[in-house]
Amino acid sequence: MNTIDDLCDRLKGYLPADEIQQVRRAYFYSEQAHDGQKRSSGEPYVSHPLAVATILANLHMDYQALIAALLHDVIEDTSVSKEAVAHQFGDVVADLVDGVSKLTQITFESKAEAQAENFRKMVLAMAEDIRVIIVKLADRLHNMRTLGVLRPDKKRRIGRETLDIYAPIANRLGINTLRLELEELSFKGIYPMRYKQLKLAVAKARGNRKDIIKKIQAHLQEKLEEEGLAGHVVGREKNLFSLYNKMKEQKKAFKAIMDVHAFRILTDSVDDCYRILGVVHNTFKPVPGRFKDYIAIPKANGYQSLHTSLIGLSGTPIEVQIRTREMEAMANNGVAAHWLYKAGQTDHPIAEGSHARARQWVKGLLEMQQRAGDSLEFIENVKVDLFPDEVYVFTPQGEIMELPKGSTPVDFAYAVHTDIGHACVACRIDRKLAPLSVKLHSGQTIEIITAAGARPNLAWLSFITTARARSAIHHYLKQQQRTESATLGRRLLDKALSQFNVQLENISEARLAPLLKEMDVNSLQELLEAIGLGERMAYAVVRRLLSDVEAKTKTNNDQEESMVIHGTEGMVVSFARCCHPIPGDSILGHMSFGSGIVVHRDNCRNLSDVREDPEKCVTLRWAATVEGEFSVNLRLELELYRGIIARIVTLVAEMDAGLDRVSVDERDARISTLTLGVLVRNRVHLARVMKKIRSIHEVNRVVRLR
């Protein structure tokens, strides 16, 4: 279809005449707006929006989406404004066009940042109208079809972006026709030689296999007719990119992948699908563990089908997919089927369900983008979330939840609700306690145990899979760090001011304003956060804030100058691994940029160069009661014999202390050195543990490592 007349002839099959006339008017409006503009290939620019509208017409999209496709570049590339589009074609079309348009007014630091921000804007528009992404996918598909005139490096960059973002989105929305072509064209753009070689190899293999495919196809068709079942057997073509991926992931040769023959059986009803499955399994021997029922439990994108693997004639491996014709339409068109059925003025439960799932997914994207710190972080989260494989698990109430393959109970908790994820402390899988890091499998029942006051653990980020969980944890930890750093910053500033007999609450806003401007911060809260994170030094801030007269009235009360450590300060106060300070030790704090205070023992050698610098060190003291356990290293010299390490570990446990590390360094045949990482509450607790260990006859010496 190269002309507007061809497009309108295509639309007569499903749109009324007045809507087709609107589409025709939009084409001439676009042609006039793009007058004089050419594509890289030399063609008039209007040929591109016309091709995009044609792709959407093949999906039976409604007239507003078609008009948006014809106008999708006018706001960005011409002098036409959004308001002008709205005046001519209505607000709905104007919003669609604006959602698809790229950002042009903002200068970005990098190409990646620009792409990420464009995508973020598109997600916001998608939340209002899912058609935005369908128009964008069609736009990207035509751009991929016309990559030929571009430089190889541009082809690779655009192909990679398509493969990372747009093809997975098409898959997530179930629009298989677009996904397959996007993947194929991306593969061709990124690896032209591999694509060419694989295409030749596939053509040759198909020629050699024609007879056996026809034989299996005829055999299956004959069996269905014998049973009186209405089913149409077709050979299934394998996508080149899919073949390439299988060869790479499964580390198999081309021949091993192509030896598997794929067939699809289309029928009229769900009932017939299961009956045909029985016939297929009676005809050829099924491979155990390779049957998947996506009809009873559809994929997240709405895909439904029965999948089975069999051993066919002469031991030939066979893959068979069985589905209804409606399921086939859904597999090809996904969320676009919503408009395909709407065009016939009838709602369809499968299409409506797919549309509802897509809306739910976009809602989740919107939540993620609100939590993300910037566009790059958001787009990385989205990439993680565009998963092809799912596991299906149950809540204790029997509801099915879809999660990506490799998900853990923490992912499940955040999928239920963000607050459940934040308060998660343990889980039961099939009524048995299990670690939070264990991978979930389909069919399991998951129960999350929560506790009031619990909060996300930084360690969870090392094993979670879903973007929802990752973005929620990042958002919580950022907020927590900001709160804790502001609290610590206030304490540090109060401490520094107290040396000059000044209190922060007595300083007026008028006096603070010049300081905030000088420090290039927007508020006192922001300044306190920077002080707490070690990005600004409290001592230096005070010197800038006070007048010369005030700066001379310094007190000498050392007790007041020492800041109290309670052990509950959170992420902005950490304990040095070099000297392992514990309550009862004399301590000194080192301001670490971006991390807050690192607590060291007063005699730690690593502080020798900065000990006297008030801008880098803070005098500290422990609170009367300190919460938590603290790690300390002990070195033992002992006579090694079978079972002595177990005996030491048991004694440490009896003293209500924990162990986080044990290592043995043998010195000679009889005497060995053992290093223990012991978790204690304070120096008194440590002394009791060391005394208990010394009571073992074979232990010659116990010392605390500095």
Q: DSSP assignment, residue 122?
A: H
Catalytic residue among 31, 76, 319, 526: 76
Catalytic residue among 77, 164, 319, 352: 77
Q: Are 34 and 71 in contact (CB under 8 A)?
A: no
C-alpha count within 13 angstroms, C-beta hemisphere, residue 629: 12
Q: Are 412 and 440 in contact (CB under 8 A)?
A: yes
Q: DSSP assignment, residue 168?
A: H
Q: Does an H or E element contain 425, and which?
A: strand 424-429
Residue 88: partners with Cβ closer than 8 Å, 6 or more residues away? 29
Give the alpha-carbon dihedral of 593, 598, 602, 604, to 10 degrees.
Answer: -80
Q: Are 546 and 500 in contact (CB under 8 A)?
A: yes
The DSSP secondary structure of 293-361, one letter per residue, reads ETTTS--TT----EEEEEE-GGG-EEEEEEEEHHHHHHHHHGGGHHHHHHHTT---HHHHHHHHHHHHH
Q: Provide the β-strand partners of residue 37.
A: none
The closest of 495, 515, 517 to 504, measured between CA atoms, is 495
Residue with tokens 């589409």: 23
User: Which amino acid would we find at residue 560?
Assistant: E
Report in angstroms the alpha-carbon separations of 608 from 535, 579, 585, 611: 22, 13, 17, 6
Q: Summarize the chain as % helix, strand, coil (round to 5).
A: 55, 15, 30
Residue 302 backbone class (left: φ over 0; alpha: ψ -120 to 50; beta: rest): left
For residue 368, the tally of other CB atoms under 10 A from its CB is: 23
Mutual angle of helices 131-145 and 152-161, in 10-degree steps:
150
Q: Does an H or E element contain 416, and which?
A: helix 409-416
- DSSP E strands in 530-629: the ranges are 563-565, 573-575, 587-592, 596-601, 617-622
Q: Are 572 and 595 in contact (CB under 8 A)?
A: yes
Pairing of strands 596-601, 285-286: unpaired
Q: Is 612 annotated as catalytic?
A: no
Give the C-alpha separation, 431 to 400, whole Å: 17
Q: Provide the β-strand partners of residue 120.
A: none
Q: Are 294 and 304 in contact (CB under 8 A)?
A: yes
Q: What is the largest CA-CA distance in the chain?
A: 105
Q: Is 665 annotated as catalytic?
A: no
Give the C-alpha separation, 13 to 58, whole Å: 11
Q: Are 389 and 465 in contact (CB under 8 A)?
A: no
Phi/psi at 76 (5° precision) = -80, -45
For residue 55, the tally of other CB atoms under 10 A from its CB is: 22
Give the C-alpha separation, 145 to 118, whole Å: 22
Give the C-alpha separation, 680 to 696, whole Å: 20
Rg for the chain, CA atoms, rounded: 34
Catalytic residues: 76-77
